[in-house]
A and B are shown apart, each in its own frame.
Chain A
Amino acid sequence: MTVMMKFIKNTIAVIRREIRLMRQRPIYVVAPVCVMAFSMLFFFTLLKEGLPDNLPIGVVDHDCSSMSRNMTRQLDATQLGRTVMFGDCTEARKALQKGEISAFCVLPENMYEDALSGRQPTLTFYVNTLYFVGGALSYKNLLSMTNLFSGAVQMQALQAKGMNGEALIGQVRPITIDCHQIGNTATDYMVYLSNVMIPGMLELIIILVTVYALGSELKYGTSVHLMEKSGDSMAAALAGKLLPYTVFFTLLGITCDLILCRQTGLPIRGSILNMFLMTFLLVLASEAVAVFIIGTLPVLRVAISIAAMFSTLAFSLTGFTFPVESMPPYIQGLSAIFPLRHYYEFHVHEAILGNGFAGWHAQMTYMLMFLLLPFTVWRRLRRAWYRMDYPKN
């Protein structure tokens, strides 16, 4: 029998053994499916509005004129805001500190009169940006609102002087900005977050399950049996153990891609097949990281703790919310050790910019480089599986 034939035979023996294990301990299959289903349900329903509307914005109306009431009404009528009236500033400030409102504005006494007679009243607004999305949106909303009102007063004054038509608009609002949002025209948070959070969850569960599957052999003392089945071949043992998971995770990932595509409408310009390819690479890279972790620390309980710490950090270091280039320089390099980082960059090129292979070929290479990781711990893991001389509990 040739070496190749022997290898295939051994690998199949290990695969058979692994499928039996998966059936005995359903956690290997059930946990990933449940985690992905729950995560998708969570992000799709929590963020279903896309952009939060009707944010509570406080108003302290000291003026009580037709103008201030008009302002309040207009603020209430915008899609972003919903006004909440407060009797005085202290009350409104407390509500702001409690996070009940994300902003409030104070309309000063005699605002209407002062505005008409040129005494230039000051309208003040307070924004709590500790609640980020609500704060930033309310800030933007209030800023454009107050500018609009200032413009309206100006327009009235100019109309009284006989100006009208385009000249009037040109004088009140000489410049306007027309912003095009490339890749997410509706500023949709659901599209934005779920397209990276869902693959992130996939990476997380793959690393955990793979570490658990490989480490269990040590913990339950079954690795000698595994090596017997594999005919003492480390390659057959590892391939046989990982193959069923690779197929399962890839199918799971592709299913998630399809659902994501339906829910979020991405990729706009790219191809779904390329997304499948990169999901497959994400699966492989995550497994490689898991092999590296359990190979370096062949004690299941330690390895799984480290794997958990690693996987949660990935969300931050991917830089899809806070960009990597604004992190300190010594942290920036660290982001490269997370497969999710490369997946995100691929996603930007493929799904948002539509750059295709020319855009993400580097990311593909980085992903493939993760596959070298298992070789660095090859001998160490083999020895651990043979001797089982590490603490089990």
Chain B
Amino acid sequence: MKRLKYIRQWLSDWNAIFINELRMIFSDSGVLIIFFLAGFVYPVLYNLIYGEGVLNGMPVAVVDRSGGTGSRRFIREMDATRELDVAYRCTDMAEAEELFMERKVKGIVMFPEDYDDRLAAMEPAVISTYADMSSFLYYKNLTMATGNVMISEMHDIQEKRFSAAGYGDRQTDQAVKPIKTEAVIPYNGTFSYTLFFIPAVLMIILQQTMFFGVSMLTGTMREQNHSFALIPDRLKGRGINRTVLGRGTAYWLIYIIMGIYTAVLIPRLFHLPQNGNPGDIFILLLAYIPACIVFSFTFSTFIRRRETAFVIFLFITPICLFLTGCSWPASNFPLFWKLFSCIFPSTFASRAFVNISSAGADLAMAGPQIRGLAAQTAVYYFLSCMAVYLENRKLKNRKRND
């Protein structure tokens, strides 16, 4: 009987705290902007900004000092690639350099005077390229396109020479390509910026919007002289769990919707790869969102005034992105940053989401990340309870002193 009463009381407290938190959220325009405006608009905006995520027809200048058939064919092939557009044909390097300095071209390809002569004499010929390193994508486009054209040209030249030496078709092919190569780039064949960047950023948006929303509310409550750690007085300081769980449920409810929008709907809307099982993605969200909630509860306790959260913590957002390892590889993180990255749920969730949704991994393969999120949830849950406990003791002391 006593136990039943306890459970009923527990549920009613939990419910009251939950409803109160929802009311707080929905009556705060700053929080609503962060949760809903940022939460809904950011994923769309990032998709619009990056579009296809590829740089097509990058303008380059060509200096053809050789002017033979070989160099002319190379230039034609280069112009036909997706990556490059031969925008200017210059008579000398000075002219090309000027275009480069004016940023009208992002690269220069120079054929030396002896290019065709050397080819004719069966000597190795050298092409010089100059890449604008102000964005590495320029460099990548130039090297990839010239490299691919070079390989196909090389095979052409070799084939012609073997034919001239009296080889048959089959023999020529054997001599030119003793080993054939096939490159398979299964998940992002065009090296699209969008396909690597957006999936990683989606998970970060969920974590960061939640963190800043929670912090703003914590700050507000503190400013208004009542705490986030409100425990009904008659409980005499017990009931920490229902406080944390009651508040948490409010965010869970909102973020499970935001999560489905971000992780399921957005990839559909913008034709991002969806190679994963939707059920697996949902389970990932079920692991990620609680981790984000208790993470936010823990770190928001350091916020004294509502607006300072941004001033102190906004810079962490781009850093979180680097910590996912989607750009600089995680295998090359120094140990300190490897450990530091474990503070953020987004590190695990981004990797798991990219692997599941884009690369088609199953849930078992995302095991390490899910376990990481579970461990974070446990640790941060404990810390949020500690925070409530300490805050309550402080409040009580203050009351006694008054």
Q: Which of B294-353 contact A (CB under 8 A)?
A: 306-308, 310-312, 314-315, 317-319, 322, 325-334, 336-337, 351
Indicate whether B270 reaches chain A with its CB closer than 8 angstroms.
Answer: no
Give the segment of A93-101, A243-251, A274-282, A377-385 that binds chain B: A93-101
Contact A130 B358 (CB under 8 A): yes
Indicate whether A5 reaches chain B with its CB closer than 8 angstroms.
Answer: no
Give the distance in Å from the alpha carbon of A204 to the alpha carbon of B118 in the complex: 55
Given contacts A129-B196, A182-B132, contact A31 B188 (CB under 8 A): no
Indicate whether B134 reaches chain A with its CB closer than 8 angstroms.
Answer: yes
Residue of B nearest to A393 (CB): B220
Indicate whether A77 reaches chain B with its CB closer than 8 angstroms.
Answer: no
Which A residues are in CB contact (< 8 Å) with B7? none
CB distance from B58 to the nearest CB of A (A): 8
Which B residues are in CB contact (< 8 Å) with A305? 30, 33-34, 37-38, 212, 310
Given contacts A127-B184, A179-B129, A212-B311, contact A99 B325 (CB under 8 A): yes
Residue of A nearest to B136 (CB): A192
Indicate whether B181 reaches chain A with its CB closer than 8 angstroms.
Answer: yes
Indicate whether B153 reaches chain A with its CB closer than 8 angstroms.
Answer: yes
Contact B51 A328 (CB under 8 A): yes
Indicate whether A123 reaches chain B with its CB closer than 8 angstroms.
Answer: yes
Which A residues are in CB contact (< 8 Å) with B212? 305, 308
Q: Which of B124-143 contact A (CB under 8 A)?
A: 124-140, 142-143
Contact B124 A173 (CB under 8 A): yes
Q: What number of residue pairs across chains A and B have CB atoms under 8 A from each other?
A: 342
Contact B158 A174 (CB under 8 A): yes
CB distance from B339 to the nearest CB of A (A): 13
**Pick the contact of B178 from A39, A120, A353 — CB < 8 Å?**
A120
Which B residues are in CB contact (< 8 Å) with A38? 315
Indicate whether A226 reaches chain B with its CB closer than 8 angstroms.
Answer: no
Contact A348 B134 (CB under 8 A): yes
CB distance from B70 to the nearest CB of A (A): 9
Indicate whether B55 reaches chain A with its CB closer than 8 angstroms.
Answer: yes
**Pick the contact of A174 from B29, B119, B307 — CB < 8 Å?**
B119
Given contacts A39-B319, A307-B310, contact A182 B365 (CB under 8 A): no
Contact B131 A97 (CB under 8 A): no
Contact A45 B337 (CB under 8 A): yes
| Most B C-beta atoms less than 10 A away, residue of A48, A98, A147, A178 | A98
Residue of B nearest to A334 (CB): B49
Which B residues are in CB contact (< 8 Å) with A133? 327-329
CB distance from B22 to the nearest CB of A (A): 18
Contact A348 B119 (CB under 8 A): no
Give the segment of A9-17, A233-241, A256-264, A309-317 that binds chain B: A309-317
Given contacts A204-B314, A312-B318, contact A125 B332 (CB under 8 A): no
Contact A157 B125 (CB under 8 A): no
Instruction: Write out, one digit per residue, whether chain B residues 178-222 have a CB within 8 A of any chain A CB (1) or not (0).
Output: 111111111111010101110100000000000010001000100
CB distance from B312 to the nearest CB of A (A): 6
Q: Which of A199-219 contact B (CB under 8 A)?
A: 200-201, 204-205, 208-209, 212, 215, 219
Which A residues are in CB contact (< 8 Å) with B330? 99, 131
Instruction: Write out, one digit per residue, whether chain A residues 278-315 have a CB within 8 A of any chain B CB (1) or not (0).
Output: 00000000000000000000011110111111011101
Give the distance in Å from the alpha carbon of A46 to the alpha carbon of B137 in the complex: 21
Indicate whether A319 reaches chain B with its CB closer than 8 angstroms.
Answer: yes
Which A residues are in CB contact (< 8 Å) with B55? 322-323, 325-326
Which A residues are in CB contact (< 8 Å) with B171? 118
Indicate whether A143 reaches chain B with its CB closer than 8 angstroms.
Answer: yes
**Pick the contact of A126 from B186, B191, B334 — CB < 8 Å?**
B186
Which A residues are in CB contact (< 8 Å) with B176? 154
Contact B51 A327 (CB under 8 A): yes
Question: What are 25 A-B contacts defined by CB distance under 8 Å?
Answer: A27-B311, A46-B328, A55-B332, A97-B355, A98-B361, A99-B330, A120-B178, A124-B182, A149-B179, A150-B181, A171-B122, A177-B147, A179-B142, A180-B130, A182-B131, A219-B307, A299-B29, A301-B29, A305-B30, A312-B318, A323-B137, A327-B49, A352-B132, A353-B100, A393-B220
Residue ranges of B at the interface with A (Cβ–Cβ < 8 Å): 28-30, 33-34, 37-38, 42, 45-46, 48-51, 53-56, 100-101, 103, 118-119, 121-140, 142-143, 146-147, 150-151, 153-154, 157-158, 161, 171, 173-189, 191, 193, 195-197, 199, 212, 216, 220, 223-224, 306-308, 310-312, 314-315, 317-319, 322, 325-334, 336-337, 351, 354-355, 358-361, 365-366, 368
Residue ranges of A at the interface with B (Cβ–Cβ < 8 Å): 27, 31, 35, 38-39, 42, 45-49, 52-56, 94, 96-99, 102, 111, 115, 118, 120-136, 139-140, 142-143, 146-147, 149-150, 153-154, 157, 166-167, 169-171, 173-184, 187, 189, 192, 197, 200-201, 204-205, 208-209, 212, 215, 219, 299-302, 304-309, 311-313, 315-317, 319-323, 325-328, 331, 348-349, 352-353, 355, 359, 393
